[in-house]
Structure 1
Amino acid sequence: MTETQVNQTQQAGLANATSKATLYIVATPIGNLKDITYRAVEVLGAVDWIAAEDTRHTQRLLQALGVNKPLLSLHDHNEQARSQQLLEKLQAGESGALVSDAGTPLINDPGFHLVKLLRQQGVKVVPIPGPSAVITALCAAGLPTDRFSYEGFLPAKKQRRLQVLQTLKNDTRTLVFYESPHRLTESLQAMLEVFGGERQMVAAREMTKTYEQFVSGSVAEVVAYFESHADKVRGEFVLMVMGDVVAEAVCEDEHDALIGALLKQQLPVKQITDIVVELSGQKKKAVYNRVLALKEGSE
């Protein structure tokens, strides 16, 4: 096969990587460039254009990948107007990609209005999965991950920040927040005030980068660590707080009467567990153990 034939084959492969009149939502690295997927590189090299939150930032990524494509800006201040322009391009048969500065687009980044508009107009939207700071942090934090709630950035104003945390105080899910270095101290102090010092949490920063760090312990311990290590208040943070275990235990006790009534009907433990889980939304394992404990106590 000649060099020309090889190049033609490669170009044909890229053409097959995408479909016309389609927007691809492409996840990009949150730090380490090696985290880009083969499929993401293939799609970015095949589309007609790329919409980016910061075109200068994305241009550096594309140069590192050896990709040369027209860039269009799409950010919080122009998304409404730009979305209509991109819709027209896609309806004309072009293919495009949407990327954010880092990670998976739309997760606390622009793109919602565009994707909503395209869905309403029947334009195909295809996700290209990859890095996400939320999932990356959670999988290495050592906190419960069977149920979690992503809360994004806390409000900038102190009173509103405290109000939001108060609404989450008794949530039994692991709570996940993003935070910038210049507001880290204020957010940690607010968590200390609302959640108390004993609640377990993990702060992750600079993930996948050279100085990646996970700081774990009680809320009070994490606050104390960053107060005494001001040099570590750098980079973007993911703050993860364990759910309220006391509230969860109380919630379980509220269903003891129901479990007791079902046990009197001599229903199997598994069937009782399924009924209570369906009604309460609690963790199946916890309910199963509770049913067993009450059954043994009644025998």
Structure 2
Amino acid sequence: MAALFDKKYVFFGGKGGTGKTTCAAAFSLKASEMKKKVLLVSTDPAHSLSDIYDTSIGPKGAQLSDNLFAIEIDPEVEAKKYIEGIKRQLSGVVSNVVIEALQKQIDAAYMSPGSEEAAIFDKFIEIMESSEKKFDLVVFDTAPTGHTLRLLSLPKLLGLWINSLIEKRKNAVKLLEKASGVKNDDPVLRILQNRKNMFEKAWNILSDFRQTAFVFVLTPERLPIFETERAMQYLEHSGIKVAGVVVNGVIPQAAEGAFMNKRREVQNRYIREIHGKFKEKVLAEIDLLDEDIWGIDNLRRIAEML
């Protein structure tokens, strides 16, 4: 786990309810107390960071301690901003008549599957670029696994799509130049090329294990194990190396009683399975605490186990 504190970007993901937000918050706190300047970013619509730190964070962000800052991205707000951005770009390259004709389709895109992921992806890139020199470490607390996998697959998927659009636009521009005899700086082609460059930069960051790490948080239960295994296989097949897993909610030996003993027995079986499947990628085991996790003091208790 110690090696993660030397990364530039650390992503915490996992099945909903496994404690990924708590782990991301505790990891960020520990890094900040190691004198690193840390930005903690949440893309989870539940906005649990504010609850954990018992303070209002929101999209404008907040300073939580001397070296720790946090921001909560609102997917719905970012999706609206994303659509408005598309409209602004179009207004510079097509006529008002065309924009009016496209208005309904553009507005419908706001409700389409993947619009929030695309918007959050743009926000990711914005944060990465703006935080590059301001912060030593940026920690991302991501939405549940399915959303996160779609988000991380965007650079490759959209990159292929953009390449196709660029080639088609280049052919159209060549025909136009041939017909008019005038060479033009095509604004549409420029926008597409800028998007392509942005996707390539994002992919280079996400796939560079020297500066970026992905950590999955799971509990010692059947479904989280299966989901984590599938997610890790998906990312690594896509070219993104997973740093490891954190096992959360482990019943401590001090917990007594017939019920706890039975639950511990079941957990131990799954913990053995986790170590068998993920081997050296098991970075830490975090005990189930005897109270709710919120506030700096309780987060420090979690941080000590990381």
TM-score normalized by the length of structure 2: 0.29
Q: Which of 1 and 2 has greater Rg?
A: 1
> Highest relative contact order (Cα 8 Å, sep 6+), 1 or 2?
2
Relative to its length, the structure with more helix (as a share) is 2
What is the TM-score with the length of structure 1 in the denominator?
0.29
